[in-house]
Amino acid sequence: MEKVFRDPVHNLIGFDRERDRLVLELIETRELQRLRYIKLMGVSYVVYPGADHNRFSHSLGVAFLMKRVISGMRSFRADPRFRTLIAELERYRPLLLAAALLHDIGHFPLSHLLEGFIGQNHEDWTVKLVQDPASEVHQVLRAADARYPDQVAQIIARTFKPSFAVKLISSQLDVDRMDYLLRDSYHSGVGYGRFDLEWLLHSLRLVQQGDDWEVAVDEKKGLRAVESYLLARYYMYQQVYHHKTSRAAGAMVRGILQRATELLQADQEIFCTEALKGLLLDPAHLSCDAFLQLDDPLLTFALQQWSMSADSILSDLCRRFLRRRIFKTLEVDAAGYRHCEPKLTALARRAGFDPAYYLVIDTAVSDPYIDGLLLGAQGRNRAEAGEGIYLADEALRLTELSRHSALIGAISNRAFVRDRLCFPEELRQGIEGIFAHSGSRPH
């Protein structure tokens, strides 16, 4: 008998009340329920009014896709080359589903925005929470199997073997990305993130290479599906995640948090909770309990309170954000910007704007695809890259994807970088004038 959740992306998300009990129990924990209050797309809702869906539904989706991957492999049971894999997948099923479900519990409010500001990443917090004996997820995991807390932590930290457990959850072709591309695309209403999920799952292969595993797709069947998946990701970054207005909104929030931190450090009276104070003033010693009190409603509430604060910079920035008077942007290059910087700073000051908060450079970087060979050569770490994607022929021989695909070749191993100057509308004319006269035209 299944327990089912209605989901707009996957329709019915079902888990078996017996076999998948662990997942169902983890869903009821404080750590998972908290994700209801953290938006999956951060501040993108300023551009896409429909996009305030949350990480809780995403986490269900990721666990569900993991379940589908495991079930899907069973269709190869007649093929002796897949027997070990299928047995392993069954053996690790509870662990794989648990790790998929939990992979995001370490997220800060406003997701990646705060990661950068605080200088901590969500994977480390996920590991910490899973291993904290006081956390509910830890207790549920341990009650199921004493090794599970450590094993989930290893999967998240990418040290677990067999490595397919790691790669299915976090690589360049993983169930996390599959879910968020479809989900963000659905709620924002842009078509860019759609790809051929059914066909991709149908052509997905896990292939053992020595004592490692690669995630691959069937060469004959899956090339176009995996291309469409990578292009979906490329477009979502280009068009949606790195949309100029949502990046500018992010830059404003960073400025706000910066200002609030400084005021708190200077013992100025502004609204704050203990947990938020911990985050801003001493993140290195933030407790798990305090961490779990941090979510989007708290941040939004703080912005509203700060919009009425005595500090004119803090209140002005918050009001602008809440009334959606988002900073304007201009694409610049580093050299041109440095050249103009003195004039820009002077302009801002003359208009009464402190350049530290009102003239901000935002740099958005995306790697649509980094091929596996390069990854090996550079020893680049996972946070930047993930793993290469391979095509498997009938004999399960692998070739690297970008060798086969002109389209993917065109966007491989390239960091797409956009530097944008963000500033209030009031400065627009002045700034455009400065760049126009400098001869160093903005992009």
For a second copy, the binding residues in 194-223 under the rule CB under 8 A are 194-196, 198-199, 202
Interface mask toward a second copy for 4-23; x: CB under 8 A: xxxxxx-xx-x-xxx-----
Q: Strand pairing of 360-366 and 416-423?
A: antiparallel
- Contact 63/97 with Cβ under 8 angstroms? yes
Find the shortest distance in angstroms from Cβ 192 to a second copy: 7
Q: Which of 322, 334, 365, 436 binds a second copy (CB under 8 A)?
A: 322
Interface mask toward a second copy for 228-247; x: CB under 8 A: x--x---x--xx--------
The stretch among 48-56, 163-171, 259-267, 393-401 that binds a second copy (CB under 8 A) is 48-56
Is the bond preceding residue 368 a cis peptide, omega within 30 degrees?
Answer: no
Q: For residues 380 and 416, which CB has a smaller minimum distance to a second copy in the complex?
A: 416
Q: For residues 57 and 154, which CB has a smaller minimum distance to a second copy in the complex?
A: 57
What order of strands is seen across the sheet that includes strand 416-423? Answer: 328-331, 416-423, 360-366
CA distance 302 to 242: 25
Binding-site size for a second copy (CB under 8 A) equals: 74
Assess 224 for contact with a second copy (CB under 8 A).
Answer: yes
CA distance 371 to 386: 10
CA distance 26 to 22: 6
The stretch among 139-147, 171-179, 209-217, 227-235 that binds a second copy (CB under 8 A) is 227-235
Q: Which of residues 169-188 bind a second copy (CB under 8 A)?
A: 186-188
Assess 295 for contact with a second copy (CB under 8 A).
Answer: yes
Q: Strand pairing of 212-218 and 390-392?
A: parallel
Find the shortest distance in angstroms from Cβ 142 to a second copy: 19
CA distance 411 to 216: 19
Token readout for 205 is 């292969």
Q: Which of residues 251-290 bind a second copy (CB under 8 A)?
A: 273
CA distance 168 to 423: 41
Q: Which of 53, 122, 138, 328 binds a second copy (CB under 8 A)?
A: 53
Q: Which of residues 118-137 bind a second copy (CB under 8 A)?
A: none
The DSSP 8-state label assigned to residue 326 in this structure reads P
Q: For residues 7 and 90, which CB has a smaller minimum distance to a second copy in the complex?
A: 7
Can you tell me whether residue 104 is helix, strand or coil?
Answer: coil
Assess 56 for contact with a second copy (CB under 8 A).
Answer: yes
Find the shortest distance in angstroms from Cβ 356 to a second copy: 26
**Which of 215, 217, 165 lies closest to 196, judged by CA?**
217
Assess 54 for contact with a second copy (CB under 8 A).
Answer: yes
- Scan for tokens 């911990």, then name that residue: 278
Token readout for 443 is 């992009």
Assess 331 for contact with a second copy (CB under 8 A).
Answer: no
Q: For residues 131 and 304, which CB has a smaller minimum distance to a second copy in the complex?
A: 304
Assess 100 for contact with a second copy (CB under 8 A).
Answer: no
Find the shortest distance in angstroms from Cβ 345 to a second copy: 28
Assess 300 for contact with a second copy (CB under 8 A).
Answer: yes
Token readout for 80 is 């002796």
Assess 395 for contact with a second copy (CB under 8 A).
Answer: no
Phi and psi at residue 382, to the nearest 5°? -60, -35
Q: Which of 116, 124, 191, 265 binds a second copy (CB under 8 A)?
A: 191
CA distance 372 to 369: 9
Angle at CA 35, nearest 5°, toward 31 and 36?
125
